[in-house]
Structure 1
Amino acid sequence: SACGPSARQADSTVKHQPKEKITVNVPVFKADSAYAFVAKQVSFGPRVPGSEAHLACADWLSEKLSGYADTLYQQRFRTRVYDRRSFEGLNIIGSFNQSAKRRIVLAAHWDSRPYADHDDDPGNHRTPIDGANDGASGVGVLIEIARLLAENPVDEKMGIDIILFDLEDYGPATQERDRYSEDSWALGSQYWAKTPHLPGYRARFGILLDMVGAADPEFPREYFSQQYASWVLDKVWRKAFDLGYGSYFVNKPGAPISDDHVPMNEIAGIPTINIIHLDPNSVNGTFFEHWHTINDNLDAIDKETLRIVGEVVTSVIYHEK
C-alpha cells in the first residue's frame, strides 16, 4: 500500500492521543530508466503509421506495458488522415486496479511526425522525424511510472490507466496550410474519446504529457487545460511548487494547443490537462526549438527534465485519495 501505518489504536487507553499523521510513500522516479525507455523507442526509427518501425515499436510498448499493468488493452482502429489516405492505428492502454471506480488517466502519444516540416533545410521537409521529445519523452516517463506502479501498488480503491495514443501527429505539413483543420490531429485520442476501451468509462481527471524531455523547459498553464480543467492544473502545479519545481511549472497562461487532451475534455468529458513545453521565443514561435525538425532526436533529451516531470506526476497520483 502507498500509505503509512494506520492511526487507529486497538488499546482504548490511548484513544485520546493525537491522531498519527499518515504519510504517503512516493516511490523514487528513476530518470535513467525513463531515458532508456525513450532511447528504445527512438532506436526503432521514426514511428510513422504504416512503417515497420511503427509496428515494431507497438509490439515493444505492448509487451512492456503488459508486463507492468494488471490488464492491457490494444485498441485498433482505422482512420483517414488529412490527405484521405487510410491507416490502421493502435491505442495501447495499461490499467492498474481495474475494478476501482475512482480513476486517473495518464496519457501521451507514441507515434512520430511523418514530416520535418519545420526544419531549416527545405530538403528535409518530407523526412520523418525521430520524435524523441515530441512523442517518446512522454511515453518514456509513463512507462517508468508503470514500472513504479507495478512495484509499489497504489491503494486498491484508486485505478490508474496509462494510455498511449497513436496518430496524434499526422496533421498536414506547414507547406499545406490550405488543408489544415483542428480535427486532422489527435486521431487516436478522438477515436478513444468516442469509443473508450471500456463502455461507459469514466475518470476523475487526466494528465497528458507532450514534449517533456528537452533541457530547461517551461510548462505554462496551457489554454485548453485552464478552460476545461483549471482545478487539475492547480493540483499539479501546487505539487510541482511544493517539490521545488516552480521555475519549470510556471504560473502563467499558455497558448491553446490542439493535442490529445482536447478530445479527452470535449468528447470524453474527462477534465484533462496538458503538461507541454511551450516557448514563444523559439524559432517556431510556439514549441521547443527542435519541434518538427530532424534534430528532435535523442540529443535533445535531458534526463533532468524527465526526472522533474516524472517526480511531479508520480507524486500527484500517489497522493490522490
Structure 2
Amino acid sequence: MTKKLITIIILGVCLVLLKPVIPEAMDGEKYSRVIWSYLETLCGFGPRNPGSEGYLETLELIRRVGKKYADRVVEQPFEVQVSEGKKIHMVNLELQFAGTQGGSPIVIGSHFDTRPFADQETHPEKQIKPILGANDGGSSTAVLLALAHYLFQHPAPRPIHLVFFDGEDYGARGSGLNLLGSIHYAQSLLQVDRQSWPYWVLVVDMIGDKDLQIFKETYSLKGSSRFLDKIYSIAEKQKNSSFKSQSKYTIFDDHYPFYKMGIPATVLIDFDYPYWHTLEDTLDKCSPESMFSVFSVVTETIQSFQVEN
C-alpha cells in the first residue's frame, strides 16, 4: 500500500470522525409524521372517555409504546366516588426514562381521557354525547407518545417521567370531578421522600390548534417563572411565533395540584379554541406543525437542565 493511499484513508477517517452530529430532534419532518400518526390513531379509537372502548384502546397503546421505548412503565390505579353508590376505576400511566446525570425527575404530563359529554354544544341532544377530543386530550397525548421515541434515542440530563393523567375532563363544571389523575398523583407524593419529588412538572394540553397561540398562564407564572422564562427563551431562539410573551389565562389544569404543593409547575395550553368541549373538536381542526412546534421547544428545554453539583 502506497503512502499516498494510506494518507487518503487516514484523511477519510478523520473527516468521518469530525462530521458534526445533527440531533435527531431537529428532524421536524420525521417527528411531525410520528406525532400526526399517533393523533390519527387516537382519533380512530373514537371518544376516549373513561370506560369506553376508545379509552381502553388508548391505555393499550400507551402501554405498548412504554414497553418498547421506556426504561420503566408504572401504572397507578385508583378509584373515584362519582356519585352515591358509584365508583369508577381510573389509572395513570407513567413512562420513566433514566437521565444521563441523575437527579430528581422532570414530569411531563398530559391527560389522555376525553370529555364524556359535549357541554359547550347549544343543542341538548348533542350535549349528552362524548366528544372526540382531537385537540383536547388527543394532541398532547400524541406529543407525549412521540417524546417516548425521542427520549429512547436522546436521554436528557435529568430523568424524564411522561405521565398520562386520567380523569382530567371527567366531571361537569363545579362537580369536583376534574383533574382526578393529577390530584391522585400529587397526593401520592406525600407518601415519599421530598428528595424524590419532581424537579419540575410541565403539562401540555390543547396544543394542536392550527392557529396556535400559547400565552403565559397565571399559576405557571407564580409558581415556575424561571422555567417559563426558559421555555419562552428557547421558543424565541427557535423563532417560534406560537409562544406569546403576554399573560392571558388562569386555568385549573393538571399542573394545578402540583402548584398547590409548592412544586414548580407549568402548563402550555391554547385556550382560544372555538371547538372546546364540542363535537367539532375533530382531526381536521388540528395541525402537525403546531404540535411539532411545541415538541421542539419541549425537547430543547429538557435537554438544557443540567443537574447541579
Task: Give TM-score, length-normalised by structure 2.
Answer: 0.85
> Number of matched residues?
281
Contact 2:111–2:141 (8 Å) recurs in 1: yes
Structure 1 position 251, deviation (Å): 0.9
| Partner residue of 2:254 out of 248, 256, 260 | 260
- CA deviations over 1:189-215 (Å, ceiling 9, x no partner): 000000149833312112100000010
Say if 2:234 is the partner of 1:239: yes
Once the two structures are superposed, the pairs formed by residues 122-271 of structure 1 within 5 Å of their partners are 122-155=124-157, 158-172=158-172, 180-181=174-175, 183-196=176-189, 199-200=192-193, 201-245=196-240, 247-267=241-261, 269-271=262-264
Q: Which runs of no fewer than 5 residues in structure 2 stay unpaired?
A: 1-20
Moved over 6 A (4+): none
Between the aligned partners of 1:83 and 1:238, the Cα distance in structure 2 is 49
Following the alignment from structure 2 to structure 1, what is the Cα–Cα distance between the partners of residues 224 and 283?
Answer: 32
Residue 277 of structure 2 corresponds to residue 292 of structure 1: yes
- Measure how far apart 1:294 and its partner are: 0.5
- 2:15 aligns with none
Higher helix share: 2
Corresponding residue of 2:17: none
SS at match of 2:203: strand
Which residue is equivalent to 2:69? 68
Alignment match, 1:108: 110
Percent identity over paired residues: 31
Contact map agreement 1:189 1:263 (CA 8 A) in 2? yes
Within 2, Cα distance between the matches of 1:229 and 1:161?
A: 18
Say whether the 8 Å CA contact 2:208–2:290 is kept in structure 1.
Answer: yes
Query: What is the letter of the counterpart of residue 150 of structure 1?
Result: F
1:81 touches 1:170 (CA, 8 Å); kept in 2? no
Q: Which moved more, 1:134-143 or 1:188-197?
A: 188-197
Aligned 8 A contact 1:75 1:197 in 2: no
Structure 1 contact 73–197 (Cα < 8 Å) conserved:
no
Tell me, in whole angstroms, the C-alpha distance in 2 between the residues paired with 1:258 and 1:134. Answer: 14
Task: Give the AA of the match of 1:236.
Answer: I
Cα distance in 2 between the residues matched to 1:52 and 1:193: 27
Q: Determine helix, strand or coil for the equivalent of 2:159.
A: strand
CA contact (8 A) 1:79 1:86 kept: yes
For the aligned residue pairs, the C-alpha RMSD in angstroms reads 2.2
Deviation of 1:26 (Å): 6.2
Q: Does 1:44 align with 2:38?
A: no
Larger Rg: 2
- The one-letter amino acid of 2:209's match is A
SS of 1:56's equivalent in the other structure is helix
Say which SS state the counterpart of residue 254 (structure 1) adopts. strand
Moved more, 197-206 or 161-170: 197-206
Structure 2 CA distance for aligned equivalents of residues 236 and 187 of structure 1: 27
Does the 8 Å contact 2:189/2:197 carry over to 1? Answer: no
Q: If the length of structure 1 is used for normalisation, what is the TM-score?
A: 0.82
Distance 1:127 1:272 in 2: 32
Give the one of 269, 282, 288 matched to 1:276: 269
1:26 touches 1:315 (CA, 8 Å); kept in 2? no
- Taking a change above 3 Å as real, the CA distance of residues 82 and 302 of structure 1, as seen in their structure-2 partners, is farther
Q: SS in structure 2 opposite 1:195?
A: helix
